[in-house]
Amino acid sequence: MNESEYIYCSRCGAVMKKDARYCMKCGNLNYNHPDNKSMQKYAPLENKTYEIGSGKISANSAFTANTSAYATNTGNKGAFFALNILLFIIIYGGLFLLGFMHIIDFSVVFLMFILLSIFNIYFISLEIINMKANKPWWGALVPIYNTVLLTDIAFEKMIYVIFLFIPIVSSIFMLVLFYQIGKKFNKNAILTMLFSIFMLPIIAFGSSTYKGVNYVDLKDRNAIEKDFKTRKNLLYIILLFFIIGVGGIVYTNVTSDSSILKDADKKIFIENAKVVLNKVEKKIKKGDFTCFEDTNLAVGTTHYFVINNLRDDLNIYSFDDKVVTAVVKVFNNKGNLEYAISMSNGEVGFFELKKEELSIDKIIDYEEIVEVDNEKSCYLD
């Protein structure tokens, strides 16, 4: 017997097991039962049994009128949905923005997506379980109080929560608590006890009920279906961010071994480009350079200062063992020297950027720096 799902009689609204052959209250046949399939074609539409999450509505208004009482102490269910969506936008959106602004590395952002998704599934599951058991959903977010509510749901005696504060006993108590939660929602109690992180979402987002009582107002005969879809949509959103996190981690790990530099390395690239520009500018002002032919840097001319190896030529040791080449373009604009720099480690780099234009986003995948005209090439002394 599958105890994990319930259906509702469309004639009288009574709660019944999914594998029940007929309603014990009014005798209405359950046409989802294999033994009744052959009779389904003779059944009037209004006598077909409604199942939670089926995507259908109950055919008979009697379902609305007679279904068992619903929970009224759950708190505002619209606020439950709105708050969680708002938190998704703030937390996930905020993390992505921090990554986009290069305040934190995207590998950290994706890791946080995974951890927060697990955290969200667990606590939203507690919120829904509270509502199913006629407890305020927001109680799941309050430390200690959330365990008090779970204790009341599991044992129907809130006083048992005192066991939580007894060393060693508290661990056993939590195991028994989750065992009882499984039983109360007609799930496998052993699995719920041992794997609560997986079973609580199954209880919350599935069709399990607490004592057969609905926590939605059945004045709208689509209420159960709407609530089921709302919970599913929340779950899909969380799973989407979890998948993004896992995919992002895989992507960053793959690209970390490729030619693309990590953001931290890119920052070093940019910082040292500024150092190169400053050193070249100082040497030019002192005249510490040699050009292939014209050394006057006359008005209207462009010269390229070639640094073949930052480590050897300018004593810059920030790139480990990588050989980084730089070319500084100097243009004499009516007596004012304008500088632009190109840099590459043979795999990635950037092309002719002014100091104010240097940024991580400008670093691209390419090998060649720039083709220098020998007549305009210069070297630092």
72 located within any domain = no
Is there a single domain that holds both residue 149 and residue 168?
yes
Predicted confidence at residue 61, as pLDDT, reads: 43
Which residue range(s) make up the domain with 322?
Answer: 263-380
pLDDT digits (tens, 9 = 90+) for 306-360: 888 877 777 776 665 667 888 888 999 988 999 998 888 777 788 888 888 888 7
Is there a single domain that holds both residue 165 and residue 272?
no
Is there a single domain that holds both residue 236 and residue 149?
yes
156 located within any domain = yes
Taking the C-alpha atoms of residue 79 and residue 297, their distance in angstroms, rounded to an integer, is 70
Is there a single domain that holds both residue 315 and residue 240?
no
How far lies 369's CA from each of 264, 322, 348, 350, in Å? 22, 15, 9, 8
Is there a single domain that holds both residue 16 and residue 61?
yes
Is there a single domain that holds both residue 345 and residue 216?
no
> How many structural domains does the chain have?
3
251 located within any domain = yes
Asked which of 205, 233, 256 is the last residue of a domain, the reply is 256
Q: How confident is the model at residue 69 (pLDDT cuts 50, 70, 90)?
A: very low
Is there a single domain that holds both residue 50 and residue 188?
no
Is pLDDT of 191 > 90?
yes
Asked which of 208, 235, 256 is the last residue of a domain, the reply is 256
1 located within any domain = no
Is pLDDT of 12 > 80?
no
Query: In this structure, what token pair is assigned to residue 183?
Result: 């039983």
Query: Could you give the count of Cα atoms lying within 13 Å of 69 in the half-sphere of its Cβ?
Result: 6
pLDDT digits (tens, 9 = 90+) for 228-270: 778 888 899 999 999 999 998 888 776 554 444 566 677 777 8
Asked which of 238, 256, 274 is the last residue of a domain, the reply is 256
Predicted confidence at residue 43, as pLDDT, reads: 61
pLDDT digits (tens, 9 = 90+) for 140-186: 999 999 999 999 999 988 899 899 889 899 999 999 999 999 999 88
Is there a single domain that holds both residue 154 and residue 252?
yes
pTM (two decimals): 0.55
pLDDT digits (tens, 9 = 90+) for 278-314: 888 888 888 888 887 766 788 888 888 888 887 777 7
Q: How confident is the model at residue 271 (pLDDT cuts 50, 70, 90)?
A: confident
Is there a single domain that holds both residue 88 and residue 193?
yes
71 located within any domain = no
Taking the C-alpha atoms of residue 206 and residue 10, their distance in angstroms, rounded to an integer, is 20
Is there a single domain that holds both residue 132 and residue 212?
yes
Is there a single domain that holds both residue 97 and residue 177?
yes
369 located within any domain = yes
Is there a single domain that holds both residue 96 and residue 11?
no
54 located within any domain = yes
Residue keyed to tokens 């109080």? 145
Helix ranges restricted to H, the chain: 61-66, 77-100, 106-132, 145-155, 169-184, 189-194, 196-205, 223-256, 263-286, 310-314
Q: How confident is the model at residue 60 (pLDDT cuts 50, 70, 90)?
A: very low
